[in-house]
Amino acid sequence: MSDILWPKGYVPGFTDNYCSNEVIVAGLTTADVWPFLNVPDRWPTYYRNAADIRIEDGKGPALEPDVRFFFSTFGFPVNAQVVEHVPPVEGQPARIAWHGWAGEEGTEARLDVHHAWLIEDLSCGRVRILTQETQNGGPARDLAKSVPNPMINGHQEWLDGLVAAARATRG
């Protein structure tokens, strides 16, 4: 199975917070799942922790390389820019990742994240969806101490909603 590609400064184990969630389900393909992740306006239809979505610079509705967008999540207003974008192609995993930030740069309230997704078809009609996020900054250190971990729980809800939305279109 494939893994996430990490940029310098965001490698798990060297950041202030890290979370990883994954599902493997039968009966779906990467192509079934991709449209629900790659079009941010769809996120609130299956994930209650995404709101106020705007794609910047007249782009959209789908994400693409270098596109900037905004959304609210976990109580943070997040500005983001797509840093990796590989649509589904047979024989290779689809990938999407963004750098997100909130707060004034150089302050303790600043939060910087790398949120990455990998979707790949597996044998026997299964699909694997992996999402991992690393975070740096004061808010990340606070989140890392939280029990239960809101990032793990929130991202699991996102995965479960993503799978349900994709399944609903298969009939």
pLDDT, position 171: 65
Are the beta carbons of 145 and 111 closer than 8 angstroms? Answer: no
d(CA 66, CA 63): 9
pTM: 0.95
pLDDT, position 75: 79
Q: Which residues of 118-143 are buried (b: 16+ CB within 10 A; e: fewer)?
A: bbbbeeeeebbbbbbbbbbbebbeeb
Per-residue pLDDT of the chain (171 residues; tens, 9 = 90+): 789 999 999 999 999 999 999 999 999 999 999 999 999 999 999 999 999 999 999 999 999 999 999 999 987 899 999 999 999 999 899 999 999 999 999 999 999 999 999 999 999 999 999 999 999 999 999 999 999 999 999 999 999 999 999 999 986
d(CA 93, CA 120): 4
d(CA 71, CA 120): 26
